[in-house]
Amino acid sequence: MRRRRVLSALVGGALVSPLVATDVTVLRLADPRTGETLGVERVEEGDRFAIHYVHSFDKTPIREVYEVHEEGIVQIREEFEYHAIGLEYTERNQTREDGFTVLHMDRRLDTFTVRVAKYTDQTLIINGEERPLSAYTDEWESIRFAVERVNSLRYLHYRLQTL
């Protein structure tokens, strides 16, 4: 009986150890107050994701584009039809593409937080998929976006929390 337990422990350890030893990079969406995982996506260095929304006052589309870096998240673009309240303003690093003004940026962020609006649709676009931010949490609640390097077991734990 003791041999069976030892053998089971060895087999279990052999199955779990690669999960503990293998690191992955994830984009983790979490409740900033509780730390609860709201969503998680595997990402790689240089991957991009975006948040699209409609400006609450001017009712024009806004697209914010971010890139994954080892040190965190970098906002690389902000796209809008025309300048509106609350948007970045600069006359430098600006182009016009397909009817949008594009601000080319290099805004380094460790993490950032977005409040889910009630009166405008906000959509996360990542890995070719679109998902409304309201699918992650209730309106008026916030979501913290962070890039983390975790072992595969932690990644699986995060995934299970979001099911």
pLDDT for the residue 99: 87
Q: Is residue 62 part of a domain?
A: yes
Do the domain assignments include residue 17? no
* Residue at 10 is within a domain: no
Any domain includes 3: no
Q: Which residues contact 119 (CB under 8 A, 6 or more apart)?
A: 56
Output the pLDDT for position 12. 47
pLDDT of residue 13: 46
- Whether 157 maps to a domain, the answer reads yes
- pLDDT, residue 5, reads 57
Closest to 29 (Cα-Cα) out of 153, 135, 151: 135
Would you state the pLDDT for residue 57? 63
- DSSP code of residue 116: P
pLDDT at 18: 55
pTM for the structure as a whole: 0.82
**DSSP assignment, residue 93?**
S
Does the residue 30 lie in any domain?
yes
Is position 12 within any domain? no
The pLDDT, as a whole number, for residue 108 is 96
Domain hosting residue 133, numbered range: 23-161
- Can you give the C-alpha Rg of the chain in angstroms? 20
Q: At a CB cut-off of 8 Å and minimum separation 6, what does 155 contact?
A: 24, 26, 40, 42
Domains held by the chain: number: 1
Q: Is residue 14 part of a domain?
A: no
Mean pLDDT by 10 residues, the chain (163 residues): 54 50 93 97 97 79 94 93 58 83 92 92 95 96 97 96 90
